Amino acid sequence: MRHAIGWFLRRFQIVRWLILVLLVVFLAFSAFFTYKAKTADVQEIKSTMQTKTTIYDQNSKVAGTLYGQKGTYVELDKIAPAMQNAVISTEDRTFYSNLGFSIKGIARSVLNLVIHRGEITGGGSTITQQLAKNTLLTQKQSYLRKAQEIFLAVQLTKVYSKKDILTMYLNNSYFGNGVWGVEDASERYFGKHAAALTVSEAATLTGMLRNPSYYNPADHMDNAVARRDLILGLMVDNNKLSQADADAAKATKLTVVDNYSQATAEKYPWFFDSVIEEARDKYNIQPDQLLNKGYRVYTTMDPTAQTQLQNSFAQDWAFPANASDGTKAQAASVVVDPKTGGVIAVVGARGQHVFLGYNYATQLQRSPGSTIKPLMVYTPALENGYSYDSILTDKKLSYGTNKYTPTNPTGQYLGSVPMYTALAQSLNAPAVWLMNKLGVDTGVQSLARFGIDLKKEDQNLAAVLGGVTTGFSPLTMARAYSAFANGGKLPETHFITKIVDATGQTVVDNTKTSSKTIMKKSVATEMTSMMIGVFKDGTGQTAAPTGYTVAGKTGSTEVPSSWGYGTRDQWVVGYTPDVVVATWTGFSTTDSTHFLEGTSTSGVASIFKLEMSNILPYTAKTQFNTTDAKARATLQTPSTDDDAADFWSGLQKGVQDGVDSAKDTVGKWYNDIRDWFD
């Protein structure tokens, strides 16, 4: 008996200690979450919902606003009572009496946790908890986040009235199709202000809170009607609607009227994304700060160029064909002012824009193909004594111990070619031959001047053809080519010129831009002369906009021959003295069923030509101070053996004709003198 009592007391001690430990842990967590709740930016929620950051274009005119997950903010008296009643009846019946959380809701969540074996399934959150989650926490489901949500909800009820909380919740809710807030949702689906919503319409919008894509009437009318009728029943159960009024609302036909015009939405999403990226990466202003703190952001955007670029990307016919499974080839373009480095237009991807999604224009790392040749090979060649018409060896040769053997795209070799032809026709063999003569280190140093750092493992002859492990973005390539358009001066590309905070203080000032000279103006001019030939009679002929002289370079990277005839990436980087445009296209993931058929002459050329044709009419139309290298060479000296043969043949014929003419003249004189003596 004594042994049994001792056993029981020991077990009781263990249980008591466990309870004590759990109590201490609970108190510690409570203290931690209370501290977190009290130090959270709860007081700022309402003001940030009402505050918008304004973006200005290069002319200091308003281009749009940044406001993240916020729509047009309206006070509670501008929201129909039917909408308020529908939301409370569905989401939180004890809203006006609870402390920010519901004991029953928590109990249901715990029960669901047991039923689903520890999986958090959501649900059980009050309106206040949902507001805390949407404005102060991440959407990731976890036990800690759920606990923190409850403490934040309690803090919210201490800071704000119930009416304020309901107002903020309705203005912060997502209603599908890119629409946030009840006011914009009312305009998007029913063509009216939130104050004018009928009971039927209010129940429909409330039903969308569960799953906006599945229950919105614009895309799934049957689902929307079924969900509406369920909400109306809940309103009856909660004594917010009579059964007769509910039946009348159910009998009402829903008609979608979209008055949510594009003018009220974001017009330049890719440029705005790039602004947010630059503010974060360059000036350490985080996206949530930029979106919610009421900044005035002045940018380099040219609204005409941006609109024209977006219009070009809307033309599916201009892009390479889809893959066999329907996957679209991706693409991106950047337009830069070479004098200032200001990005005047950008599109980061094809298809529906995703807020702060992957931006191929600024974040891409793909092989640049032959667009690297002018930067790595031909510029340093001019600086080391070569001329635009210097003769280069064009033969299939092997280099180094690994027998690296570059080949021309056509498989043909001319033996020798002038440098301007090698560049314009994008011949690989003479480019590598020339790099081998100059030394790879010379090419690496040249790239560094253009703002391109080549990794150690990529510092070899293969880099001449774009054979690199880590590639570059259109923004990087546009900046590099700006040095040619800007007379040898490399600008610093940027989207932001100035940021002013809500108090009027300038927190970023980038208005005084500068460029650094990386090559002589004469070298830049000679390079432009050779690159005009790319679009005159070289690989960029099909990309040339009618009526304009453009210089630049095409590029592509090959796929394994077993896949077929095609490329992984296609590039065109082209410029005038006014603008530099860098365009890339390719699949996000390249494999045997997802690659570009043909080369850049039949793929990226179409979109580049369309972009230039749309943008150049709105530029200053400044002319180059040089002409096509081939035309210059033809005027100065014959450039081929055939031309030389023709020249010497003509010279010989002229001399012979002169001799024959002289003989005839002398003979005539002799006969005249003889006749005189006779």
Band the pLDDT of 262: cuts 50, 70, 90. Answer: low
Determine the longest span between alpha carbons in the chain, in angstroms. 174
Q: Are 165 and 157 in contact (CB under 8 A)?
A: yes
Per-residue pLDDT band for 293 (boundaries 50, 70, 90) equals confident
Most confident among 37-51, 167-181, 262-276 (mean pLDDT): 167-181
Q: How would residue 124 be classed by pLDDT, with cut points 50, 70 and 90?
A: low
Q: Which of 123, 82, 118 is nearest to 104 (CA)?
A: 123
The pLDDT of 379-405, averaged and rounded, is: 96
Whether the CB-CB separation of 484 and 518 falls below 8 Å is answered with: no
Q: Cβ distance 593 to 627 under 8 Å?
A: no
Averaged pLDDT of the chain: 85
Q: Clarify whether 597 is annotated catalytic.
A: no
- Alpha-carbon span 511 to 497, nearest angstrom: 5
**Residue 17: what pLDDT?**
61
In this predicted structure, the answer to whether residue 254 has a pLDDT above a threshold of 60 is yes
Q: Which tokens is 153 given?
A: 């909800």
Q: Are 473 and 583 in contact (CB under 8 A)?
A: no
Name which of 70-74, 158-162, 444-448, 600-604 the model is least confident about. 600-604
pTM above 0.75, yes or no: no
Query: 241 Cβ partners below 8 Å, 6+ apart?
Result: 85, 199, 232, 235, 249
- Tokens representing 204 are 């429909």
pLDDT tens digits along 51-84: 788 999 999 999 988 866 567 889 999 999 999 9
Residue 200 makes CB contacts below 8 A (sequence gap 6+) with 228, 232, 249, 250, 252, 254
In the predicted structure, residue 421 carries a pLDDT above the cut 90: yes
Q: When comparing pLDDT for 51 and 114, which is higher?
A: 51
Compare 163 and 147 and report the one with higher pLDDT.
163
Q: How buried is 61 (Cβ within 10 angstroms: 0-12 exposed, 13-18 middle, 19+ buried)?
A: exposed
pLDDT for 11 beyond 50: yes
Query: d(Cα 503, Cα 11) in Å, to the nearest integer?
Result: 65
Phi, psi of 135 (to 5 degrees): -110, -25
Catalytic residue among 89, 91, 149, 515: 91
Secondary structure of residue 185 in the 3-state scheme: helix
Q: What is the pLDDT of residue 174?
A: 86
State the CB neighbour count (10 A cutoff) for residue 666. Answer: 10
Give the pLDDT of residue 122: 45
Mean pLDDT confidence for 255-270: 80
CA distances from 516 to 153, 371, 386, 451 (A): 55, 22, 24, 11
Residue 586 has pLDDT above 80, yes or no: yes
Is the pLDDT at 411 greater than 60, yes or no?
yes
**What φ, ψ does residue 259 adopt, rounded to 5°?**
-110, 10
**Strands in 165-314 per DSSP E:** 296-299
Banded pLDDT at 9 (limits 50, 70, 90): low
Least confident segment among 17-21, 477-481, 635-639, 641-645? 641-645
pLDDT tens digits, 175-203? 988 788 999 999 999 999 999 999 999 99
Question: pLDDT exceeding 70 applies to what percent of the chain?
Answer: 79
Mean pLDDT of 337-347: 98
Closest CA to 92 of 113, 119, 114, 123: 123
Q: What is the pLDDT of residue 32?
A: 44
Q: Which residue has the higher pLDDT, 649 or 429?
A: 429
As a whole number, mean pLDDT of residues 242-262 equals: 92
Q: CB neighbours (10 Å) of residue 393?
A: 18
- For residues 309 and 315, what is the distance between their CA atoms, to the nearest angstrom? 10
Catalytic residue among 312, 370, 473, 482: 370
Q: Are 422 and 533 in contact (CB under 8 A)?
A: no
The pLDDT of residue 269 is 92
Which structure tokens are listed for 269? 């999403």
Q: What is the pLDDT of residue 14?
A: 65
At residue 2, the pLDDT reads 61
For residue 36, what pLDDT band results from cuts at 50, 70 and 90? very low
Tell me the three state secondary structure of residue 90. helix
Q: Is the pLDDT of residue 675 over 80?
A: no
Determine the average pLDDT of the residues in 262-283: 86
Q: Can you give the pLDDT at residue 66?
A: 80
Given a contact cutoff of 8 angstroms between Cβ atoms, the answer to whether 395 and 429 are in contact is: yes
Of residues 572 and 8, more confidence is placed in 572
Under 8 Å between Cβ of 428 and 556? no
Of residues 44 and 472, more confidence is placed in 472
Contact yes or no for 92/126 (Cβ under 8 A): yes
> Do 174 and 212 meet the contact criterion of CB atoms below 8 Å apart?
yes
Q: Is 370 a catalytic residue?
A: yes
- Per-residue pLDDT, averaged over 323-352, amounts to 96
pLDDT classification of 137: cutoffs 50, 70, 90: low
